[in-house]
Structure 1
Amino acid sequence: MIRVVVVDDEALVRSGFEMILNAFDGIQVVATAEGAGAADAIRRERPDVVLLDIRMPDVDGLTVLREVQKLPAPPTVAMLTTFDTDEYVLTALRSGATGFLLKDTEPEQLAQLVRTLAAGGVVMSPKASRALLRGHPGAGAPQDADVARVKLLSDRERDVLVLIAEGLSNVDIGARVHLSAGTVKDHVSSILAKLRVAGRVQAALLAERAGLLGDDGGDAARGQGC
C-alpha cells in the first residue's frame, strides 16, 4: 500500500485528491493538511509520498519541504501547482522535491504518477519542464562545468542518466538496458556521487544543462503518464 499525504490550503483540493487516490487499488491517502499542520502530519503518518502545494498563505510549500528534508527518512515529495511555469518550482526541485505536477492532472494519470514516485521515479509536467529549465539563469547553451562532470561518467552511466531524466524508476531502467534493479541502483549512486548532486531530479537538471538530452531528447525528468 502506497501511503500518501496531501498538503494544500484549499479544502476542495485536499478532499478531491483524497477521493481520487483512494479509489485506486494500492494507494491510500492517510492524511491531508494545510501548510501549518503539514510537517506534523508527515512526521506522524510517515507516508511514502507527499503531494505538496507550492503556494500557501500560512506556511508555503518551500518551508514545509525544507522541514521534511530534515527528517531521518524523508518521504518522496512532489510539488503541486496550478502554474505550469511557477517560478518557485525550480527552487523546490533543487531543494529536494522529486518533481511537480499540475492540480488539473487527470485522475488516472494522478494515480500513475503517485505510483511512479513511490517506485523511485521522478515526475514533471512535460509542457512545463522545458520552460522551467530554459527559464532559469544559465539555461541555454551547455554549461562547461556541467559538461565536465558528465564526462566523468562511463558510457553506461550516461545511458542510465538519460533514463533517469526520462523519469524511469530503477526497475524500468533495468528493463530498458537489461540490468538488474540492484545494478541500476549502484549505477545511480555512482552517478549522483560523480555529478555531486543530492538526488535524481538534480541529476536530470544537470544532464539538461550539459546538453546530454538533446533538443528532442524528451522533457527532462518527465514522469510516466504525464
Structure 2
Amino acid sequence: MIRVAVVDDEALVRSGFSMILEAAGDIVVVAAVPGRQAVEAVTEHEPDLVLLDVRMPDVDGLTILRRLVESPSPPRVAMLTTFGCDEYIAQALGSGASGYLLKDTDPDELAPLVKSLATGAVVLAPQIVPTVVDGYLSHHRDLEAPTGRDPATRDHGVPAAALSEREHDVLLLLAEGLANREIAHRLYLGVGTVKDHVSSVLAKLGVDNRVKAALWAQRAGMLARDGAQ
C-alpha cells in the first residue's frame, strides 16, 4: 500500500483527493489536513508521499516543503497548484519537490501519477513542463555549445541517434510530462516495457530523472523538430 498525506486548506479538495486515491485499492490516505497541521501529521503518520498545496492562506507551502525535506525520514513531496504557470515551480523543484501537479488533474490520471511518484519518478503536469524547460534554459545560456557543435550532444555528449526509434518515441512523450502508464497507452506497450525503455533512455543520456531527460530533449532540439512536422 502507498501511504499518502493530502495537505490543503480546502476541505473539499482534501476529501475529493482522498476519495479518488483510495478508490485505486492500493493507496491509503493516512492524513488529510490543512497546512498548519502538515508537519505534525506527517511526523505522526509517516506517509510515503505528501501532496502539498503551494498556496495556503495561513502557511507557505514552500516552507512546509523545506521542513519535510529536512526531516530525518523525508517523504516524497508533490506540490499542488491551480495554475499551470506558477511562479513557485522552480523554487519547489529546487527545494526538493518530486513533482508538480494541477488540482484539476483528470481523476482517472491521479492514482497513476501518485504511483509513479511513489516509485521514485519525477512527475510534472504536462501544462507545467514548458515552464520548467523555459526556466531552465533561461538560466543556462552560458552553457550553450560553441558554434558548429551538434546541439543533440550539447548536454551530455550523447547524440540523439544513440537512442533506438522506440526510445526516441518514449523520450518525446516523457518530455510532454506523461507518466509511464500514459506512455504505454499511447504507444500500445506494456507498462513494464515502458519502464525498461525509460531506464534505458536515462542511462544513455547520463541523467538521473525524467525532468533532466526532458530538458535534454528540449536542448537537443528534438521537441521543436517534431512539433514542426
- Give the structure-2-normalised TM-score: 0.71
Q: Could you say which residue in structure 1 is the equivalent of 2:126?
A: 126
Q: Could you say which residue in structure 2 is the equivalent of 1:203?
A: 212
RMSD of aligned C-alpha atoms? 3.8
Residue from 151, 157, 161 that aligns with 1:151: 157
**Superposed, which structure 2 residues align to 1:35-50 within 5 Å?**
35-50=35-50
What does the per-residue CA deviation read over 1:132-152, in whole Å, with 9 as the maximum and x for residues that have no partner? 43256716969438x765238
Contact 2:7/2:35 (CA < 8 Å) preserved in 1?
yes
1:7 and 2:28 matched: no
1:96 and 2:105 matched: no
- How far is 1:211 from its partner? 3.2
- Equivalenced residues, count: 205
1:64 and 2:85 matched: no
**Gap runs ≥5 in structure 2:** 146-152, 182-190
Residue from 203, 207, 214 that aligns with 2:223: 214
Letter in 1 for 2:129: S
* Aligned-pair identity (%): 44
Q: Specify the SS of the correspondent of 1:64.
A: helix
Contact 2:8/2:33 (CA < 8 Å) preserved in 1?
yes
Distance (Å, rounded) in 2 between the aligned partners of 1:110 and 1:174: 18
Letter in 1 for 2:212: A
**Superposed, which structure 2 residues align to 1:160-171 within 5 Å?**
162=171, 168=180
Distance (Å, rounded) in 2 between the aligned partners of 1:90 and 1:79: 11
Higher normalized contact order (CA 8 Å, seq sep 6+, divided by chain length):
1
- How far is 1:115 from its partner? 1.2
- How far is 1:84 from its partner? 0.5
Contact 1:162/1:213 (CA < 8 Å) preserved in 2?
no
Q: Specify the SS of the correspondent of 1:66.
A: helix
Distance (Å, rounded) in 1 between the aligned partners of 2:214 and 2:43: 29
Distance (Å, rounded) in 2 between the aligned partners of 1:94 and 1:201: 15
Distance (Å, rounded) in 2 between the aligned partners of 1:148 and 1:216: 16
Alpha carbons of structure 1 residues 92 and 171: separation in structure 2 relative to 1, 3 Å:
farther
Contact 2:121/2:210 (CA < 8 Å) preserved in 1?
no
Alpha carbons of structure 1 residues 86 and 216: separation in structure 2 relative to 1, 3 Å:
farther
Q: Could you say which residue in structure 1 is the equivalent of 2:187?
A: none
Distance (Å, rounded) in 1 between the aligned partners of 2:96 and 2:7: 17
Larger Rg: 2
Alpha carbons of structure 1 residues 55 and 205: separation in structure 2 relative to 1, 3 Å:
farther
Alpha carbons of structure 1 residues 137 and 152: separation in structure 2 relative to 1, 3 Å:
closer
Letter in 2 for 1:28: V
Letter in 2 for 1:78: A
Contact 1:85/1:132 (CA < 8 Å) preserved in 2?
no
Letter in 1 for 2:64: V
1:176 and 2:182 matched: no
Contact 1:7/1:38 (CA < 8 Å) preserved in 2?
yes
Alpha carbons of structure 1 residues 132 and 175: separation in structure 2 relative to 1, 3 Å:
closer
Distance (Å, rounded) in 2 between the aligned partners of 1:94 and 1:37: 24
Alpha carbons of structure 1 residues 209 and 106: separation in structure 2 relative to 1, 3 Å:
closer
